[in-house]
């Protein structure tokens, strides 16, 4: 019996479907990993932005208003809450400010930023004529 029909055999179709299933499963896993890392990167950037906001406030605050102690607040949107705590402690020549921003989501580590504010000089260094 001679077969001269054009087309694919059932074995060829099954092999093609198995190969396609393996490729699509691999691509699906890769897409999931990329999406998860994008969410982590976005949360990390938001955590750093919340820390930078507190650091900028502590930098803009006049030195005389820096008092030793800890203050905490909670910032963020509905799904991304952050607890920020700023601890001010005197050091040898100024004040040390530690800002710890802790995301309320699981799996994201807290961010700690340290800022040293030196005491201002007793006399204005720009005044050369005895102001």
Residue 127 forms part of a structural domain: no
- E strands, 15-131, are 69-76, 81-90, 94-103, 111-118
98 band by pLDDT with thresholds 50, 70 and 90: very high
Q: Enter the pTM of the model.
A: 0.66
Residue 3 forms part of a structural domain: no
17 band by pLDDT with thresholds 50, 70 and 90: very high
Residue 74 forms part of a structural domain: yes
What pLDDT is attached to residue 7? 79
Residue 129 forms part of a structural domain: no
Domain count for the chain, please give it: 1
Give the CATH number of the domain where residue 95 resides.
3.30.1300
- What is the extent of the structural domain holding 85? 10-118
Residue 44 forms part of a structural domain: yes
Residue 108 forms part of a structural domain: yes
Q: What is the DSSP letter of 88?
A: E
Torsion sign over Cα 33, 34, 39, 45 = positive
For the stretch 45-85, pLDDT in tens is: 888 888 899 999 888 988 888 889 999 999 887 778 889 99
């Amino acid at each position: 019996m001679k077969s001269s029909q054009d087309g694919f055999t059932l074995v060829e179709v099954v092999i093609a479907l198995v190969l396609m299933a393996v490729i699509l499963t691999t691509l699906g896993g890769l897409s999931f990993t990329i999406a998860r890392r994008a969410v982590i990167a976005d949360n990390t950037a938001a955590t750093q932005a919340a820390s930078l906001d507190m650091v900028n406030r502590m930098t803009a605050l006049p030195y005389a208003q820096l008092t030793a102690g800890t203050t905490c607040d909670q910032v963020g949107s509905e799904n991304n809450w952050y607890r920020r705590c700023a601890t001010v402690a005197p050091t040898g020549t100024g004040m040390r400010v530690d800002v710890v921003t802790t995301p309320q989501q699981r799996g994201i580590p807290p961010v700690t930023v340290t800022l040293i504010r030196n005491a201002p000089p007793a006399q204005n260094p720009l005044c050369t004529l005895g102001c």
